[in-house]
Structure 1
Amino acid sequence: MQKRGAGFTLIELMVAVAVVAILAAIAYPSYTGQIVKTRRSAGAACLMEQAQFMERYYSTNMGYAGAVLPDTACTNDLGDHYSFEFSAGPDATSYTLSAIPQGQQESRDSQCGTMSINERGTKAASGSYSSTPAKCF
């Protein structure tokens, strides 16, 4: 009687590689979509932090004029993905802050695009969710 050697045949190995490749092809787009959503949420939270800074500035200076956005941990962490700046103002009574996507975030996030908030707390987005910006914040 001959003993058969233990191990995998080439066919079995190729089937396993094909299964792994199919799983990876399904999982990778989902993974990148979740990364975009996570960065979007972090960008919205940072935008809200900037708006809170503006309200603190208003309460100490009785106006928004002259305000400069601070360099915070969130703006540094998201620097490769979002640019935070004033899109209008600041003047004595109003401002509009914007979170502008950059790099891969800009090309992958067509749903929200540029997110903004003003002194009244009105939120807006420039992407396909522009009619319902609450989905972005």
Structure 2
Amino acid sequence: MNRKHFGFTLIEMMIVLAILGILAAIAIPSYQGYLRRAACEDAKATMVGAANLMERFRAQNNTYATATQATLGAYAQSPVDSNSKQTDIVIVNPTATGYSLTATPIATGRLNGLGTLTLSSAGVRGGTGALANAWGSCSGI
């Protein structure tokens, strides 16, 4: 009698599952790192946009001192046009001649626990924690 067997053996299925497990172990952390770097780059771009709004405010009012969070409008969060907020951007101590912007990651965001980003009216860029050198490149986070 000639019998044909169709399907996969248990060994073949286990090999496929092992390969999928290895691929997932590599791909998932890599993708999460990509999402962190994207959130970091977006926060930097949003801060530059907020700085542009502050400069426009000063051109119209001849001072930064009366600037409020409402001055930043949509730029008070990053990303600007999304419901998946990653950072809050606040104006810190606006004076007549200067200001500082600080981007703080939200508790449920991808950048949580990595520090903050800062940008001053003089163009001084900085940060704390793992984000301290992020203005050069977010690839290190």
TM-score > 0.5 by shorter chain: yes
Change (3 A) 1:98 1:50: same
CA deviations on 1:65-96 (whole Å, 9 max, x unpaired) are: 1112332174462763101102x321101100
Counterpart AA for 2:118: S
Identity of aligned residues (%): 30
Structure 2 gaps, min length 5: none
CA RMSD of aligned residues (A): 2.1
The answer to whether 1:84 aligns with 2:89 is: yes
Find the residue that maps to 1:72 and give its secondary structure.
helix
Query: For residue 72 of structure 2, what is the aligned residue in structure 1?
Result: 70
CA contact (8 A) 1:84 1:98 kept: yes
1:2 offset after TM fit, Å? 1.9
Query: For residue 3 of structure 1, what is the aligned residue in structure 2?
Result: 3
1:13 offset after TM fit, Å? 0.8
Change (3 A) 1:92 1:44: same
Structure 1 gaps, min length 5: none
Find the residue that maps to 1:83 and give its secondary structure.
strand
Q: In 1, distance between residues paired with 2:134 and 2:85?
A: 26
Q: How many residues align?
A: 132
Q: In 2, distance between residues paired with 1:8 and 1:132?
A: 50
Query: For residue 50 of structure 1, what is the aligned residue in structure 2?
Result: 50
Find the residue that maps to 1:92 and give its secondary structure.
coil
1:35 offset after TM fit, Å? 0.2
